[in-house]
Structure 1
Amino acid sequence: MTTPTILFVPGLRDHVSQHWQTLLQAKLPSARSVPPLEHDKLSRAARVAALDRALEAIDGPVILVAHSAGVMITVHWAQTHRRPIHGALLATPADLETPMPAGYPTTDTLHEHGWLPVPRAPLPFPSLVASSDNDPLCAAPRAAELANQWGSLLVELGAVGHLNPAAGYGPWPMAQTLIDTLL
């Protein structure tokens, strides 16, 4: 069997140099990432199309590794595309239906750009939702609810914030462990 290609799906802030996704991709020579958008950065349709283009460029099996709004990009993509996916790690999804802290898009802005409602249908591939007890962008019970609706296995990480540099993550070694469970 061919080893799956790891495809990273960043959130709305795209590629952050000290983010665990960026750091892990640098360690995995065959891994790829959905490239940042130049235009329509808040457009759900543009983000889903970028994910689809990145997938079209990969032959063979794929494991998606999504973070924050990248989880929502992945979930929206799965509603309308049928390319087989080997599995997905969905780390600290952003709850786009609940108002977020200052500095993030408002619920009205997200609705206007096609993000709402958040899909609730089961995903057509195996998935893990890694959630945080103190994520400012998604309460733990909400992450558990989404995992259940998507048919994902819930992995509770404890108090890791939003699992980004602002929460003290740079490297996140557990990501590789979780990816390995999907192989």
Structure 2
Amino acid sequence: MEASRVLILPGWQNSGEGHWQTRWEALYGFHRVEQHDWMHPLRGDWSARLEETVVDAGGPVVLVAHSLGCILAAWWAAHSRNAHRVRGALLVAPGDVESPDIAPLLPGWSPIARQPLPFPAVLVASQDDPYCSFARAQGLAVSWGARLHDAGARGHLNAESGLGDWDEGLELLRALHAPLKNNPPH
């Protein structure tokens, strides 16, 4: 797994210092997709930035998304001509932007794209995520054709969850990447 081709897609408000995505970036050299506005995200702007980053990578990429980053990955994949460049995706704790509590905070992010993803994916969900029920995460996994991984009761799988370097997630990423190594993208 070439570190520069692992793209980190943080969610709303970015991933802070103690977040496993930030730790992975520092430890393994993965590349964070920087967005223009983390506080007032616009789906079109975020999608355009992901498109630029995937094209500029110059080869196949793997997506590592958290929260709103998962919703971005699905939306982008449903609309991009470059989704074939993605070898796989680790989708962690998707945020339910269709929820009545969240939708007003993130206008323009609903509906959630529900087409099957054109690449292999693992969706990691917590039993007690305050931003997406486990049942809702299961439904997204089915819609996207992603393998569901039950992380237990770990909250939103962020810095507050106390995951540290989150070795379990890294193993899921490695397992996702392993079968892809010998199969070049189309």
TM-score by length of 2: 0.87
Distance 2:67 2:38 in 1: 20
State the partner residue of 2:88: 87
Answer yes or no: is the 8 Å Cα contact 2:13–2:38 preserved in 1.
Answer: no
Superposition pairs of residues 10-159 of structure 1, within 5 angstroms? 10-29=10-29, 31-38=30-37, 41-83=40-82, 84=84, 85-100=86-101, 106-110=102-106, 113-159=107-153
Answer yes or no: is the 8 Å Cα contact 1:7–1:33 preserved in 2.
Answer: yes
Identity rate, percent: 37
Higher relative helix content: 2
Aligned residues: 174
Partner SS, residue 65 of structure 2: strand
Answer yes or no: is the 8 Å Cα contact 2:10–2:67 preserved in 1.
Answer: yes
Answer yes or no: is the 8 Å Cα contact 1:40–1:46 preserved in 2.
Answer: no
Distance 1:35 1:62 in 2: 16
For structure 1, list consecutive stretches of 5 or more residues without a partner in the other structure.
Answer: 101-105
Distance 2:165 2:65 in 1: 15
Shift of 1:109: 4.5
Distance 1:13 1:39 in 2: 5
Shift of 1:17: 1.1
Answer yes or no: is the 8 Å Cα contact 2:11–2:66 preserved in 1.
Answer: yes
Shift of 1:165: 1.4
Aligned pair in 2 of structure 1 residues 81, 132: CA closer, same or farther (>3 Å)? same
For structure 2, list consecutive stretches of 5 or more residues without a partner in the other structure.
Answer: 178-186
Answer yes or no: is the 8 Å Cα contact 1:8–1:65 preserved in 2.
Answer: yes
Aligned pair in 2 of structure 1 residues 152, 15: CA closer, same or farther (>3 Å)? same
Answer yes or no: is the 8 Å Cα contact 1:164–1:170 preserved in 2.
Answer: no
Amino acid at match of 1:121: Q
Deviations 1:49-80 (A, max 9, x none): 11112212201111100000000011110111
Shift of 1:182: 1.8
Distance 1:39 1:131 in 2: 23
Cα RMSD for the two superposed structures: 1.8
Amino acid at match of 1:68: S
Deviations 1:81-123 (A, max 9, x none): 13221000000101111133xxxxx42353xx32111111101
Partner SS, residue 73 of structure 1: helix
